[in-house]
């Protein structure tokens, strides 16, 4: 990157990290926070906790592509500012609200109008001065992972010092600060000028490759589904090691995120260097390795071994979603709208993964949960191998996908 684009990306990276940290500060504490509210004394707190977590994700599945399409018309900096401003506003209002339906309404509004991750990815994809897009996408993923790791730690510290309600107030102030910094210093990504011929060509391309795009979006859904399938039962599984140390349990959960954070920059180098064939065959191999790692997690003999397998699994994750976003950018002339579709596919996988994990374990046990994750990664390995061989055949026949 040139010096000015590098400075802009560095600003975006740090702002995105702080915004994600603010968003994740309240995540682990919804259940505890609701129990402290007088208005929740006669309600099913566990049900409400799940509803407040799932509601914004469900709404965002439908709203994200619409905001992304608007970003293609007016520019993606306003979309980034809109997402962070929504977080600042809703987190502040939740901190002053005690009624369950009011909190639910604010969470629904947050899901409909926020979407920081999608806005940041669309900004990178459409920012013309960032040349190494693959590396930039993986670095943003690293910022997301870092924010997700630091947010709960900071939230827990604030709760222990000042109470859970102050988590929302602090997170709102962080988002407000990030928004003001972006407003003042982040360069705008101008809407693309009218280019009827190119748009016609792009539309034709999407028609020719609609099946491939569908496979990519399905893969994004399955990746996120497999990622969170184990979350509902992992804490119970750790109990077999006869430990109730919350710090150790937190380390087990965080170990995969740490692997993703540390190895995302390295994954970006491969993304910029690999063509379509090597990218998808690599994804196939990483999916197969992820299936093996989940089998090893099931048979781990100690907590330390479990942490090791999850850390290695996190390294595999560092390549997967950025590779697919990068593919959308290269092959399908990635607009913000297509990035939005990809993000919605990921959110669909995230939401369905939580639900499926809980249902499978409740009906068939923890072993069935681990087997389900393994099978999902085997399906992904097959899909990616299909894509790799497809592009190999195209290359042999001297036909370019673009």
List pLDDT tens digits, range 333-343: 656 788 888 88
* Number of other CB atoms surrounding residue 95 within 10 Å: 17
Residue 189 to residues 76, 132, 193, 338: CA-CA distances in angstroms? 6, 17, 12, 17
Q: Which among 224, 197, 225, 217 is positioned nearest to 65, based on CA atoms?
A: 217
The band of 243, judged by pLDDT with boundaries at 50, 70 and 90, is low
Identify which of 126, 117, 365 has the alpha carbon closest to the alpha carbon of residue 224.
Answer: 117
What is the structure's pLDDT at 28?
66
State pLDDT tens for residues 102-129: 988 999 999 899 888 888 888 887 776 6
pLDDT of 327 reads 84
Rg over CA atoms, the chain? 21
Q: Are residues 181 and 204 in the same domain?
A: no
pLDDT (mean) for 325-354: 82
Task: Annotate 46-79 with b (16+ C-beta within 10 A) or e (fewer).
Answer: eebbbbbbbbbbebbbebbbebbebbbeebbbbb
Reply yes or no on whether the pLDDT at 138 is more than 60: yes
- What is the C-alpha separation between 125 and 337, in angstroms, rounded? 11
The verdict on 106 and 214 lying in the same domain is no
Residue 276 pLDDT level (bands cut at 50, 70, 90): confident
Structure-model confidence comparison of residues 298 and 274, the more confident one: 298
Let me know the angle formed at the C-alpha of 260 by 222 and 54, rounded to the nearest 5 degrees.
50
Q: Which of 189, 216, 241 is the last residue of a domain?
A: 189
Which residue intervals of 299-365 are DSSP H helices?
Answer: 303-331, 336-364
- What pLDDT score was predicted for residue 225? 93
pLDDT tens, position by position, 187-196: 887 665 555 4
pLDDT of the residue at 234 = 78
Residue 38 lies in a domain: yes
Q: Is residue 401 part of a domain?
A: no
15 and 97: one domain? yes
Give the per-residue pLDDT at 203. Answer: 47
Same domain, 116 and 216: no
124 & 255 share domain: no
Of 140, 160, 189, which residue constitutes the final position of a domain? 189
CB-based contact 192:72 (threshold 8 Å): yes
CB 64 within 8 A of CB 95: no
Report how many domains make up the chain: 2
| Two structure tokens written together for 18 | 């702080």
Domain that holds residue 141: 1-189
Please check whether residues 305 and 384 belong to one and the same domain. Answer: yes
Only one residue has tokens 């996190």, namely 314
**Cα distance between residue 190 and residue 360, in whole Å:** 47
Same domain (yes/no): 63, 114: yes
Specify the pLDDT at position 289: 96
Mean pLDDT of the region 168-180: 94
Weakest-pLDDT range from 5-9, 260-264, 386-390, 398-402:
398-402
Same domain for 273 and 201, yes or no, is yes
CATH number at 121 reads 1.20.1250.20
- Check if the beta carbon of residue 314 is closer than 8 Å to that of residue 259: yes
Query: What separation, in Å, do the N-terminal and C-terminal C-alpha atoms of the chain show?
Result: 24
* SS3 call for 242: coil
pLDDT in tens, 56-66: 888 988 888 88
Say how far apart CA 381 and CA 310 lie, in whole Å. 19
Is 402 part of a structural domain of the chain? no
Answer yes or no: are the C-beta atoms of 17 and 147 closer than 8 Å: yes
> Element (H or E) spanning 301, and its range?
none
Q: What pLDDT sits at residue 288?
A: 96
How many whole angstroms separate alpha carbon 41 and alpha carbon 189? Answer: 48
Residue 206 reports pLDDT greater than 60: no
Quick one: 215 and 114 in the same domain?
no
* Distance, CA of 84 to CA of 57 (rounded, Å): 16
CA nearest 238: which of 287, 193, 304, 294?
304
Q: Which of 136, 171, 189 is the last residue of a domain?
A: 189
* Pair (181, 206) in one structural domain: no
Same domain, 81 and 124: yes
Taking CA 218 as the corner, what is the angle to CA 213 and CA 220, rounded to the nearest 5 degrees? 95
Tokens 């995540």 -> residue: 27
Same domain assignment for residues 359 and 256:
yes
CB neighbours of residue 366 within 10 Å: 16
Is 62 inside any structural domain?
A: yes
Give the tens place of pLDDT for each residue, 302-322: 888 999 999 999 999 988 988
Average pLDDT over residues 343-355: 87
């Amino acid at each position: 990157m040139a010096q000015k684009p590098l400075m802009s990306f560095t600003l975006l990276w740090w702002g995105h990290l702080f915004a994600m940290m603010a968003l994740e500060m309240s995540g682990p504490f919804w259940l505890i926070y609701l129990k402290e509210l007088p208005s929740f004394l006669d309600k099913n707190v566990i049900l409400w906790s799940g509803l407040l977590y799932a509601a914004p994700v469900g709404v965002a599945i439908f709203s994200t592509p619409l905001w992304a399409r608007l970003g293609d018309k007016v520019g993606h900096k306003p979309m980034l500012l809109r997402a962070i401003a929504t977080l600042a506003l809703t987190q502040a209002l939740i901190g002053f609200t005690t009624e369950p339906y009011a909190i639910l309404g604010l969470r629904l509004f947050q899901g409909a109008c926020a979407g920081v991750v999608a806005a940041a990815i669309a900004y990178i994809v459409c920012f013309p001065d960032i040349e190494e897009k693959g590396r930039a996408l993986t670095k943003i993923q690293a910022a997301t992972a870092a924010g997700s790791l630091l947010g709960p730690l900071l939230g827990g510290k604030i709760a222990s010092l000042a109470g859970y309600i102050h988590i929302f107030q602090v997170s709102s102030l962080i988002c407000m600060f990030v928004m003001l910094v972006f407003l003042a210093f982040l360069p705008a990504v101008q809407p693309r000028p009218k280019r009827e011929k190119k748009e016609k060509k792009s539309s034709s391309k999407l028609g020719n490759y609609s099946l491939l795009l569908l496979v990519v979006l399905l893969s994004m859904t399955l990746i996120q589904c497999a990622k969170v399938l184990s979350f509902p039962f992992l804490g119970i599984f750790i109990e077999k090691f006869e430990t109730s140390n919350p710090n150790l349990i937190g380390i087990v959960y965080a170990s995969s995120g740490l692997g993703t954070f540390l190895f995302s920059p390295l994954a970006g180098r491969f993304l910029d260097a690999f063509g379509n064939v090597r990218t998808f065959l690599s994804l196939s191999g990483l999916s197969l390795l992820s299936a093996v790692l989940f089998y090893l997690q099931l048979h781990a003999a100690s907590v330390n071994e479990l942490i090791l397998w999850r850390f290695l699994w996190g390294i595999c994750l560092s390549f997967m979603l950025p590779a697919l976003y990068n593919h959308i950018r290269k092959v399908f002339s990635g607009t913000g709208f297509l990035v939005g579709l990809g993000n919605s596919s990921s959110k669909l996988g995230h939401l369905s993964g939580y639900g499926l994990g809980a249902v499978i374990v409740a009906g068939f046990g923890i072993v069935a949960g681990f087997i389900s994750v393994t099978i999902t990664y085997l399906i992904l390995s097959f899909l990616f191998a299909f894509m790799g061989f497809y592009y190999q055949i195209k290359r042999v026949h001297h036909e370019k996908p673009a």
